[in-house]
Structure 1
Amino acid sequence: MSNIEEIIQGCKEGQRDSQRRLYEMYARSLLAVCMRYTKNRMEAEDFLHEGFLKIFDKIGQFESKGSIEGWLRRVMVNNILESYRKNSKYSFVDDSDINLAERYDDTEEDDGIEVSMSELHALIEQLPDRYKLVFKLYVLEQFSHEDIAKSLNISVGTSKSNLARARQWLQKRIDKKKAEKERALWQI
């Protein structure tokens, strides 16, 4: 039995030392996950602690077939989503324009002007909340539209529509940033 398997088994048996070791191994990476969903570090830490309580409560459901880190991330994100649902923090655009997702075309000619990762992250954080949550779940957490719909209590079409609108919103701002950079180049 490997070290992580021993820790997981200890957690399943309610051993505090094993719980502490699991927390120490994954708290940092799971805090980064929590920070994706809030700009407030204290709120992210609250999510982290609540999430670990859920993890320890549900650890018996973990099956060794998959990755423990993936399972921990999933429990943590689901905890955050549950909190948002309870507090009605996000409202979602309905899926009346379902074809929006199918019409979205992200094939653009490469003009050689790049937007940095930090600029992209800043733009993602500026997304309207209803788009940002779906975008992060789909792109960063790799949830399916079905999982997003179930987690947020919305339809699959609404998930697709919000993702497409998030991409359009981002593309518009990326194009604007590129145009600003291009103008700056011509002024040199």
Structure 2
Amino acid sequence: MTDDAILQGCLRNDTSAQRELYNRYSPKMLSVCYRFAHHREDAEDMLQEGFIKVFSQIHTFQNKGAFEGWIRRIIVHTCINHLKKNKKFNESVDIIHATSVQVREESVPSIVQAKQVVECIRLLPIGYRTVLNLYAIEGYSHKEIAEMLDIEESTSRSQYTRAKQMLEDILVKKKIIMRPREKTNWLGVAAGR
């Protein structure tokens, strides 16, 4: 069944089309939820809530952009709202982790398994994890993140910087990456060269 056929079926409230949409996109969207959630149960709750919104708002999809992208935006916003509703975003974090490491760029060595990195991201405090996911993985700007989370843009930037450092510390501690002996980037190129 094509995305268009699924969309048309869902607009008619056809349960087989709704089941097909859920079966096709729920595994990818669960992985999105999993990055925001602390426990699998929370991720599953976010997923279910997100798909309820997808089905109730499907009539608003205007065929501008990818259908999967539209679903993903709803899921991401559902995750954020879930965290806000449960007041999980405002967990306090230690300010001691405030140096920088590049994560957004394609600089992580190819030997690092994506699953290991996701597991390490999940170890971050919820505020750091949320900003890191929104900026580095979902591609939102700090301005958009600030609006979504009701925080200052500078707070988003500092949370991201701290998240990157804490993530590097976790990756090093778990021996997924090695900290360079001299100031270098993750590709091993000395700084300033």
Question: Scaled by the length of structure 1, what TM-score is found?
Answer: 0.75
Aligned equivalent of 2:85: 86
The percentage of counterpart residues that share the same residue type is: 36
Give the structure with higher Rg (CA).
Answer: 1
Corresponding position: 1:138 with 2:142: no
SS at match of 1:126: coil
Aligned equivalent of 2:20: 21
Gaps of 5+ in 2: 93-97, 181-193
C-alpha displacement of 1:117 = 4.4
Gaps of 5+ in 1: 94-99, 181-188
C-alpha separation in 2, matches of 1:12 and 1:146: 34
C-alpha separation in 2, matches of 1:117 and 1:147: 26
C-alpha separation in 2, matches of 1:135 and 1:84: 15
**8 Å CA contact retained: 2:35, 2:118:** no
Corresponding position: 1:49 with 2:48: yes
Aligned equivalent of 2:125: 128
C-alpha separation in 1, matches of 2:17 and 2:116: 40
**8 Å CA contact retained: 2:46, 2:79:** yes
C-alpha displacement of 1:146 = 2.3
C-alpha displacement of 1:126 = 1.9
C-alpha displacement of 1:67 = 0.6
Corresponding position: 1:153 with 2:150: yes
Residues 146 and 165 (structure 1), Cα distance of their counterparts in 2 relative to 1, 3 Å cut: same
**8 Å CA contact retained: 2:124, 2:166:** yes
Bigger Cα displacement from structure 2, 69-78 vs 137-146: 137-146
**Amino acid of the residue matched to residue 44 of structure 1?**
A
Question: Which residue, out of 142, 159, 168, partners 1:171?
Answer: 168
Residues 125 and 41 (structure 1), Cα distance of their counterparts in 2 relative to 1, 3 Å cut: closer
C-alpha displacement of 1:76 = 0.7
Bigger Cα displacement from structure 2, 133-142 vs 120-129: 120-129
C-alpha displacement of 1:171 = 3.0
C-alpha separation in 1, matches of 2:43 and 2:58: 21
Deviation string for 1:96-155 (max 9, x for gaps)? xxxx7xx84649xx9x9x765454333322222211110011112222222211221112
SS at match of 2:37: coil
Equivalenced residue count is 167
Deviation string for 1:69-115 (max 9, x for gaps)? 1111110111111111111111177xxxxxx7xx84649xx9x9x76
Corresponding position: 1:72 with 2:74: no
Provide the aligned C-alpha RMSD in A.
Answer: 2.9
Residues 15 and 162 (structure 1), Cα distance of their counterparts in 2 relative to 1, 3 Å cut: same
